[in-house]
Amino acid sequence: EAGVAQSPRYKIIEKRQSVAFWCNPISGHATLYWYQQILGQGPKLLIQFQNNGVVDDSQLPKDRFSAERLKGVDSTLKIQPAKLEDSAVYLCASSFTGTGEGYTFGSGTRLTVV
Amino acid sequence: GQQLNQSPQSMFIQEGEDVSMNCTSSSIFNTWLWYKQDPGEGPVLLIALYKAGELTSNGRLTAQFGITRKDSFLNISASIPSDVGIYFCAGQPSGSARQLTFGSGTQLTVLP
Burial (Cβ within 10 Å: 0-12, 13-18, ≥19) of residue B62 = middle
For A8-19, the pLDDT digits (tens) are 999 999 999 999
CB contact under 8 A, A99 and B41: no
Mean pLDDT to the nearest integer, A75-81? 98
The shortest C-alpha distance from A73 to chain B (Å) reads 19
All residues at 6 or more sequence positions from A88 whose CB lies less than 8 Å from its CB, including other chains: A36, A37, A38, A39, A110, A111
For B69-106, the pLDDT digits (tens) are 999 999 999 999 999 999 999 998 876 567 889 999 99
| pLDDT in the model for residue A71 | 86
For B27-48, the pLDDT digits (tens) are 899 999 999 999 999 999 999 9
Q: Which pLDDT band holds residue A35 (cuts at 50, 70, 90)?
A: very high
Q: In this complex, which of A40, A56, A105 lies closest to B42 when CB atoms are compared?
A: A105
| pLDDT in the model for residue B3 | 73
All residues at 6 or more sequence positions from B97 whose CB lies less than 8 Å from its CB, including other chains: A48, A55, A56
Q: Which pLDDT band holds residue B8 (cuts at 50, 70, 90)?
A: very high
For chain A, helix, strand, coil in percent to 5 are 10, 50, 45
pLDDT for A109 beyond 70: yes
Burial (Cβ within 10 Å: 0-12, 13-18, ≥19) of residue A101 = middle
Measure the CA–CA gap between B88 and B78, rounded to whole angstroms.
20
- When scoring B2, B34, B98 by the number of chain A Cβ atoms within 10 A, the one with the most, hence best to mutate, is B98
- When scoring A23, A59, A101 by the number of chain B Cβ atoms within 10 A, the one with the most, hence best to mutate, is A101
Q: In this complex, which of A59, A100, A110 lies closest to B100 when CB atoms are compared?
A: A100
Amino acid of residue B8? P
| pLDDT in the model for residue A100 | 66
